[in-house]
Structure 1
Amino acid sequence: MRWLEFPLRLTDKLTAWMLGLMLVAITLILFVNAMARYFAGIAIVGGEELARCLMVWMTFLGSYLLVRTQAHIAIDVLAIMLKPATRKILVMVICCLGILITAYFFVLGYELTVRIFSSGQRMSSVPLARGWFYLSIPVGMGLMCVAFLQTLLATITGLAQPKVSDFSLPEVEAAAVKAAPEGKL
């Protein structure tokens, strides 16, 4: 199980950096496009389409990190009322369902991506193959499948999972602790 930790931690850090860069790129693209349209009366061709493509990539890659840190929105009323042993079984069932669903969508996304790349479709205003847009599906679903598998193995063996705080900057975390009311963080 330890052999899986290093590549996953590396993937986590790389994904977190990519998400940050994508967010900055989307913000800059839309800001520059809005300013050019407002002040110069021109629109940057392809800016909105590129921002949309990056947003889709952010969604799928971000979902991977949310699975890794167990930060997806969850209805945990039932889980809180269960005994720890029963809660562990519930987590294992959820992980197995997650593995099956993400593996299924990985296969569908892969087939769709291959079909789109082989058809030679291009994006309407950006000189890129439309397959790059669809590639986010198998990449994100494959990463989520691996994350669910790792969570299942960690639940069985009792190993620790990464936390959301592992991906925040130390200064931001320290400021949040300082700004939070006593004992409320």
Structure 2
Amino acid sequence: MIERLPLDEQLAAFKAALSRNGILLEVLERTAALDLPDWYVTGGCLFQTVWNTVTGRAPGHGIKDYDVFYFDDRDLSWEAEDRAIGVAEKVFGDVPTKVEVRNEARVHLWYEQKFGVVCAPHTSTEAAIDSFAATTCCLGVRLDSDGRWRVYAPHGLSDVFGLVVRPNPVLAPRAVYEAKAAHWRRQWPELTVLDWPGTT
């Protein structure tokens, strides 16, 4: 069972699983060419590709989009982010899926209105990834200038390979976690979804 392997072997298995997803590899390569500051491909496209590998599904099963986060606090205007999104739309125009590019330096400007809780300004893309609703989601991958993979996984990879969804109550409210977990469980019924802290 991969979730019980040493971390270096889990990393190798993680890269092998993600490499089965051709669209993900294309998104990684094209994002590297955009030269966005402090960028990662993150979110469901990573852990869901692993879930698909573990459960024997097609690599892209259930993946609705591919998230690209970057961090640029030099200009927090919507216009600056929109310019980056516009460039990305041209770069990803022929990729057969939705690729969403977002500046995580701006999240605090809209988060409360969308989710009903205050979000302190993030200090990096890694800090933004740390605040995802489930620890299983807290993953980021990017390609360095020499083509090597940089993997950010603050909670490790054991839960990802073990099909465990664990709450991360640092920012997102309980309702967000539970809605996401219910959606994922419909796509991957093998998941073990852990309760939000304090629920019985």
Higher normalized contact order (CA 8 Å, seq sep 6+, divided by chain length): 1
Shorter-chain TM-score tier: under 0.3
Higher strand share: 2
Higher helix share: 1
* TM norm structure 1: 0.25
Looking at CA atoms only, which structure, 1 or 2, has the larger radius of gyration?
1
* TM norm structure 2: 0.24
